[in-house]
Structure 1
């Protein structure tokens, strides 16, 4: 009721502007969405990021058609969500803030949401090529990349392979990684037991829902062999802000500290009382760290001083 009254007041004061604004809100809110295991009473945004056809676009990347959405104006900033059961909507609160000052491009990675799976084996080289296809479609200038978990590792790979395309990276929950850390199975039927509404939602959005279990199998096989270490991380030359939840068991804090040591121009923010999704668990600290990093002139982003371990 309060929102309706406010809208009516604005309609009287500036009818044309208010009408356009209300139309945009209505379009963005047309298709409700949730992120995996979203707790009751929590809504990260009123905008259904990842399922907002009004802002949606497609680009062909290799053997898969990828879906992305564009919001706002300004310097291009790409958002790469988490993998497996990840969705752009989980990063909605960050996107809401970022789109006020940036042109935000929200990408659904292959096999997620409205993007196709394709038939090529999963590799991070492939993921980087996928993102490059979207980046080329949208802009020619160096962009900011915000990545979470799987999306952060993809951001690392893009920055390493195509340094001229990347201005800086914000990486949440992506430290060093040894093969076998992520292993086991990801069964759709088990995911349904945790969050049936989310799986039903994804099945409706996916262009190939009959391949959901195939995707899960191939995705976990890929992740079980993943290795991210010093040799690779040293190839990333752009400024990087690593953000780590102090209770993260997917990217334990020690692995984030290691990554910050290896990436030449990296800074690290440890978010207290936060799990893997630090931006949901403790948004104020996460956002403050990001905002300072994003607003600082690149020439001044020299990273933290690398101090050797205190041991004999």
Structure 2
């Protein structure tokens, strides 16, 4: 394994590296959207789906072909998908899922696996539609997208995976510092904890996620099993999903397209939404 790919990744950098001094509320909710629609806590659009051990929260916007949005992990929330929701809901039925342990979704009691995450998403999909759906996932949400496409091919039409390349244990080292995370933007976490059903379990959940991220595998067996069309996207300067790992994943996917946005990092769609959007539209149409 190329030693250049092995690095310690602190999740705080998702905010500080990409957005400088901007706080999390701004980093994960574009200025044009802030305070307009409370994505992730919108009572008018919110619903729950019951899984084996948890209630999973989701919101529905628009009409048309169903497209599921899956945000990133730990710092992620439905808020970060705001521009996608606004843009896609004009022509699609957008299903924005708060993944377990995030926002209004419960943490549950089962071990953390991508099989479990895929089943969570399927539970939501089955409540809403019998149609095949498109899934757009970012980072942790993208890995979940891969897994559900592999496990339930009859339910998935296409996948758009942002910031998620090949991953095997030892390729990176993920370290969470709960105090740093919580102090990065106290107002953001006050708001997030206020809507969480189990805020007292949050730090324990993060500890389990740290172990999970450092032991997970997404490689040839997974990518080779995905038969639907996949658009794999990343920022050229992504430190969470280095370019070589994204290209490796692209080469392992049987039916894939690759899009690299120059001069952008991990949260590429907030750095250059216009470029991301222009790349997604043709993929959705073909």
Q: Is the structural similarity TM-score above 0.5?
A: yes
1:194 aligns with 2:184: yes
After TM superposition, list the pairs within 5 Å mapping 1:1-312 onto structure 2.
36=24, 38-39=26-27, 42-43=30-31, 45=33, 46-296=36-286
Give the number of equivalent residue pairs. Answer: 263
Higher mean alpha-carbon deviation, 227-236 vs 114-123, is at: 227-236
Instruction: Work out the CA distance in 1 between the residues paired with 2:245 and 2:30.
Output: 29
Instruction: Work out the CA distance in 2 between the residues paired with 1:244 and 1:52.
Output: 29
Instruction: Work out the CA distance in 2 between the residues paired with 1:110 and 1:40.
Output: 18
Moved over 4 A (4+): 39-42
Instruction: Kindly provide the CA deviation profile for residues 12-63 of structure 1, in whole angstroms up to 9, marking residues without a partner as x.
Output: xxxxxxxxxxxxxxxxxxxxxx983635995252322111111000011110
Instruction: Work out the CA distance in 2 between the residues paired with 1:44 and 1:153.
Output: 29
Which residue in 2 is equivalent to 1:11?
Answer: none
TM-score, length-scaled by structure 2: 0.88
The answer (yes or no) to whether the contact 1:186–1:217 under 8 Å persists in 2 is yes
Alpha-carbon distance, 1:266 to partner: 0.4
Which residue in 1 is equivalent to 2:9?
Answer: none
Alpha-carbon distance, 1:187 to partner: 3.3
Instruction: Work out the CA distance in 1 between the residues paired with 2:49 and 2:167.
Output: 31
Instruction: Kindly provide the CA deviation profile for residues 262-309 of structure 1, in whole angstroms up to 9, marking residues without a partner as x.
Output: 00000000101211111111111100000110011xxxxxxxxxxxxx
The answer (yes or no) to whether the contact 2:226–2:254 under 8 Å persists in 1 is yes
Relative to 1, partners in 2 of residues 1:151 and 1:218: Cα closer, same or farther, differing over 3 Å? same
Instruction: Work out the CA distance in 1 between the residues paired with 2:232 and 2:97.
Output: 20
Relative to 1, partners in 2 of residues 1:251 and 1:41: Cα closer, same or farther, differing over 3 Å? closer
Instruction: Work out the CA distance in 2 between the residues paired with 1:39 and 1:206.
Output: 20
For structure 1, the residue ranges without an aligned partner over 5 or more in a row are: 1-33, 297-312
Relative to 1, partners in 2 of residues 1:271 and 1:200: Cα closer, same or farther, differing over 3 Å? same
Which residue in 2 is equivalent to 1:301?
Answer: none
The answer (yes or no) to whether the contact 1:44–1:93 under 8 Å persists in 2 is no
Relative to 1, partners in 2 of residues 1:257 and 1:44: Cα closer, same or farther, differing over 3 Å? farther
The answer (yes or no) to whether the contact 2:146–2:222 under 8 Å persists in 1 is no
For structure 2, the residue ranges without an aligned partner over 5 or more in a row are: 1-21
Relative to 1, partners in 2 of residues 1:120 and 1:72: Cα closer, same or farther, differing over 3 Å? same
Q: Which has the higher contact order (CA 8 A, sep 6+)?
A: 2
Instruction: Kindly provide the CA deviation profile for residues 134-187 of structure 1, in whole angstroms up to 9, marking residues without a partner as x.
Output: 010010010000000000000000000000000000000010012134535423
Instruction: Work out the CA distance in 1 between the residues paired with 2:30 and 2:133.
Output: 31
The answer (yes or no) to whether the contact 2:234–2:246 under 8 Å persists in 1 is yes
Relative to 1, partners in 2 of residues 1:44 and 1:265: Cα closer, same or farther, differing over 3 Å? farther
